[in-house]
Every structure is written in structure tokens, then in C-alpha cells.
Amino acid sequence: MSEHKNTLAEMLAGKKEFLRLVTLVTVLSFSVGVLASLVAASTIVPTAVIYVVAILLTVIALLLLAADIRQKLSFEDCLEGVLFIDSEKNELIDVRGYELASDLSRTMAAVKAESRAIYSEWENDPLVQRKTKTESTSPSAAVGHAEDEESDGKITYTSIVQVEVEEDHLTKQKASNLLDEALQFVLLEELSTHLSTYFTNSDSDQIVELSREHIPTFLLQNRVLNLLTTPIEQRDVFLKAYPRGKKRPDGVLCTLWGSDGSMYSRFDLNLPKDSKVSFLNRGALRIETKRLDLEISGRYTGTSAAVPRAFINHYMERSWDDVDCRKIQVKLRGRVKPLALLSGKGWEHYHWLDSFRTRLRKSVDLKSFQDEIHWHAVEPMFYTLRGQFRAVHNHLEHLRKHVKE
């Protein structure tokens, strides 16, 4: 069973059904008109009533058809990602294998390495307050540990405290704005890489490459995108990348990383001819083509995410108390234009959409990532092994005491 609703392949496969529905409605409308004319010839029912009923029936049929077409030719994928923050250092944590966390961590590190002015928003108005190992802070809930030092058993307490905050406070922070810009950059990188791979061997004149010059307004809206896609010749941080006397490699420079965390990424989107990219609002962009429209948005929701303690302690190799988990929401909306289905050729330039939806789900959705690494099977093993190690440890302690006696 497909993991997506209304894939492009399904839409194209149902093209005959779409044409059949259009024909059916046309015939129905014509039949109603003829019937109305015949009834109008009689004197039993007023002519005005007959035509009103005919028009209503036609409108209802058209509305039902439009609703059915809209439902079948559109989709919306809502993905829930997780952001991992080191609450002591106020830094994003790179989680191996989980692309969203890795890409965001690398992006924020690049901003920090090159522009302290931009990165200062993350430091001066952070998402989480720095804490010690015995504290846990969250805007919506504070979880703390207190130790009863007077007790020999050293009892540890965990408390959950509800705190009233403004509804939009969590997304008004400057760090939240910067995070959304970084997230939008990461999503664009994901799309750019996928399109470049898909059209690698394509020499069709129906494919065009959009670069920085095609989205000047968009660059003004996203400082992270503008910073990291600016050519290296215009950036001080890369002055030593190719010092005088050393020839720069032939070809087009796509990506460049520095050991200090700096990064250059060439902006390019290979899309069908006459495509347009526009900025909608904070964290969202729209891609319009002749046959389909696509919207990609990513937002920091401001809410905490429930992540298993074992995943943080064992897979990430971090202390659960030192990691703050926050939700990231990514939405991908698409709509195929109904009239585009009348054409049977040229759809090979749009089949990248289905594979991109699959790729995006794997890279963003934490649950999908955990399913891919079979975490549901691995997690019980940790508890089983921990119990076995504890039993072995107790047995060895018993033997040690027995030997001493």
C-alpha cells in the first residue's frame, strides 16, 4: 500500500476516469436542458420553475464534479520532525542518520562561523534557557530533579510544572525566526539535490535551471539562504580556500565546506520550462509550473517533542537531561491542474514529485527514520541487555563478597 495519498502516478492513471466524469457531466447537463425544454412546452408547470430546477441540477452536478476532481488531483503531506538542542551549550545536536537534525546543525554552524551578527539572534534570544545537569527548563513545562541529601537512599524527584505563556510567544523569539530561515534553506537544499539527481542525464530543452539571479526578492527574505549561497569570491571566510598560485578545480563548484564550519552551497533548481518560484510567508515558498503547483513550508512550532529516553541515551549517546527536544512541522502541498490532464506527453518531467515526497518523509519525519533503523526492535534489546548486565554485575559482586569471606 502506498505511503502517500494521491501520488502523481495515481493521478495520471486516473486520467481516463477524469475524462469520463467530464463527459458524463456534459451529457447530463445537455439532457437536463432538453428535458426542461420538453416540460416547458406543457402548461402544467410554470416555465420559470422548470428552468430554475434545471439550472440548480446542473450547478450541483458541476460542484460535485469539481470537489471530486480537487480531492483526487491534490495532496498534502504533514511531516513532524524533531529538533535536538544541547541545553547546556545552546547548540543544535547532529544525530547521525537523521538528515533533518544533521542538516540543521551543519547550517547553523555555518552561520555561526561566518556571521556572528546573524547568529547573535540565536544566542541572545534562545529557544531554551541554559541549565545545569540537575535542571530542566521548557516554556510550556519545567521538568526538574531534586535530590534528598538527608536521605541515605538519595531519592530523586521529577516534577512537571505547567506555566502560562502567550500563545505566540514561542514563535516570536528571534532564534525562532533564524531557525525557520535555516529550515527553509535545508528544505530547498533537499529539493535542489533531488532535482539535480533526477535530471542528471536529461538534455531536454524543456528543463531550465533557476539560480540566485531568478529569486532576488526571496534572498532578501531569507538571510541564511542569501549568506550560504553567495559565491565564495564575495566572502571573506573563503579567501584562503584557493590561495594565489593554486588553481581552482575545473567545473562548477557545487558545495564547499570549511573545517571551521563554514559552507558554500550553489543554489540551483532544475524545473520544467516557465516555472516560477515565489515567497509566500515566513518559512513557505511556492513553485508554479504549467501542470502543477507545489508549496513547501517549514515552521518551528514552539512545542516540546516526546522522544524515548533510550533513543537519546543509547543512540545519540547523550544524557536525557541535557537534551531539549522540539517539534518541527514541514508541509508539502501539491495540486495538478485539471486541464493539464488533457495532455498525454511531457509528464516525464514531473515524475520527480513522487520520489521527492518519499525522500522528504525519510529525511524529516523522525518516526520514519526510527522505522528505517528498526528502532522499535532495537529499543527492547537495550532494556534486555541492561537487565542481563545488571544480573551479571550482581552475580560478580556476590562472588567477590563470598571470596572475601
Residue 299 lies in a domain: yes
Same structural domain, 240 and 343: yes
Same structural domain, 243 and 110: yes
pLDDT value at position 145? 42
Q: How many CA atoms lie within 13 A of 186 on its CB side?
A: 27
Buried b (16+ CB within 10 A) or exposed e, 295-307: bbbbbbbbebbeb
Q: Which of 28, 56, 72 represents a domain boundary (last residue)?
A: 72
- Lookup: cell for 78: 504533514
Render 138-198 in DSSP notation, one character per residue: -SSEEEEEEE-TTSTT--EEEEEEE----TTGGGTSHHHHHHHHHHHHHHHHHHHHHHHHH
Buried b (16+ CB within 10 A) or exposed e, 98-111: bbbbbbbbbbbbbb
Same structural domain, 15 and 68: yes
Q: Which of 72, 90, 111 represents a domain boundary (last residue)?
A: 72
Same structural domain, 101 and 44: no
SS3 state at 85 = strand
- Residue 390 is which amino acid? R
Residue 399 lies in a domain: no
Residue 143 lies in a domain: no
Strand partners, 323: 86
Same structural domain, 234 and 317: yes
Residue 332 lies in a domain: yes
Sequence-separated (6 or more) residues with CB below 8 Å from residue 199: 207, 270, 352
Pairing of strands 323-336, 292-304: antiparallel
Q: Measured between alpha carbons, how far is 7 from 76 in angstroms, rounded to an integer?
A: 10
Residue 228 near residue 110 (C-beta atoms within 8 A): yes
Closest CA to 346 of 198, 201, 200, 207: 207
Residue 160 lies in a domain: no
- Lookup: cell for 116: 556572528
Please state, as a whole number, how many other Cβ atoms lie within 10 Å of the Cβ of residue 114.
23
Same structural domain, 120 and 27: no
pLDDT value at position 142? 40
Same structural domain, 62 and 192: no
Domain count, the chain: 2
Render 307-345 in DSSP notation, one character per residue: --HHIIIIIS---GGGEEEEEEEEEEEEEE-GGGGG--S
Residue 352 near residue 202 (C-beta atoms within 8 A): no
pLDDT value at position 180? 92
Matching residue, cell 532544475: 270
Please state, as a whole number, how many other Cβ atoms lie within 10 Å of the Cβ of residue 267.
21
Same structural domain, 121 and 81: yes
The kind and range of the H/E element at 67 are helix 47-72
Same structural domain, 100 and 126: yes
Q: How many CA atoms lie within 13 A of 241 on its CB side?
A: 21
Residue 316 lies in a domain: yes
- Lookup: cell for 383: 532494556
Whole-angstrom distance between the N-terminal and C-terminal Cα of the chain? 65
Q: Measured between alpha carbons, how far is 243 from 173 in angstroms, rounded to an integer?
A: 40
Strand partners, 75: 334
Residue 161 lies in a domain: no
Same structural domain, 265 and 234: yes
Residue 309 lies in a domain: yes
Q: Which of 53, 72, 91 represents a domain boundary (last residue)?
A: 72
Closest CA to 235 of 265, 193, 202, 198: 265
Strand partners, 69: none
Render 112-129 in DSSP notation, one character per residue: HHH-HHHHHHHHHS-SS-
Each of the 405 residues of the chain gets a pLDDT tens digit; together they read 346 666 777 666 666 666 666 666 676 666 666 666 666 665 566 667 666 776 777 777 666 666 666 667 788 999 999 999 999 999 999 999 999 999 999 999 999 999 999 999 999 988 887 665 544 444 444 444 444 444 456 787 766 666 554 545 455 688 999 999 999 999 999 999 999 888 887 777 888 888 888 888 788 888 999 999 999 989 999 988 887 656 777 888 889 999 999 999 998 899 988 888 888 876 688 999 988 999 999 999 888 898 988 899 889 999 988 999 999 999 999 988 878 777 778 788 888 998 999 999 999 999 999 999 988 888 777 667 666 666 676 767 777 777 766
Same structural domain, 100 and 194: yes
- Lookup: cell for 106: 551543519
What range defines the domain where residue 182 resides? 75-131+171-373
pLDDT value at position 17? 63
SS3 state at 228 = helix
Same structural domain, 68 and 80: no
